[in-house]
Amino acid sequence: MPKISSRRAKVVLFASRPIVSAVAGKNEEDYAIYASYRPHLKGFIGVLKVVRLTDARLLYPFDGADEIGPFSTQAAARAAAVQRGGDIVHGDLRTPEL
C-alpha cells in the first residue's frame, strides 16, 4: 500500500519554465501513451494520458474529453484506453496539433 501523506499540497509556480515551441512528432516513438483503468459504479473506466515527447505537449486528456467506458473488466477498459491512445497518436501524426 502506498504511503499517504497528511501534509497539504505544495503550490508550485512555473514562472521560470522555458518556453518550448511546438514540434510535431515524426513517428510513433515521439509519443508516450500511459493507459490504465479505474473502478466505476458500472464496472471500470479506461484512464489515458498521451504526451508528445518532442515538445512535452499533453494531447490527452483535454477539457471535454469523453470517459473511456464503462467496461465490465479491467482488461477491456485498459485495452480501450490503449486503442484510443493509438488513435490520438495517429491523428496527431496526420495533422499535428501545434
pLDDT over 50 (residue 60): yes
Mean pLDDT of 32-43: 95
Q: Please, which pLDDT band fits residue 20 given cuts at 50, 70 and 90?
A: low
**What are the residue boundaries of the structural domains of the chain, listed by start?**
28-94
Mean pLDDT of 68-85: 96
Q: Please, which pLDDT band fits residue 77 given cuts at 50, 70 and 90?
A: very high
Give pTM, 2 decimals: 0.77
Residue whose grid cell is 473488466: 73
Where b means 16+ CB within 10 Å and e means fewer, 8-38 reads eeeeeeeeeeeeeeeeebeeeebbebebebe
The overall average pLDDT reported for the chain is: 85
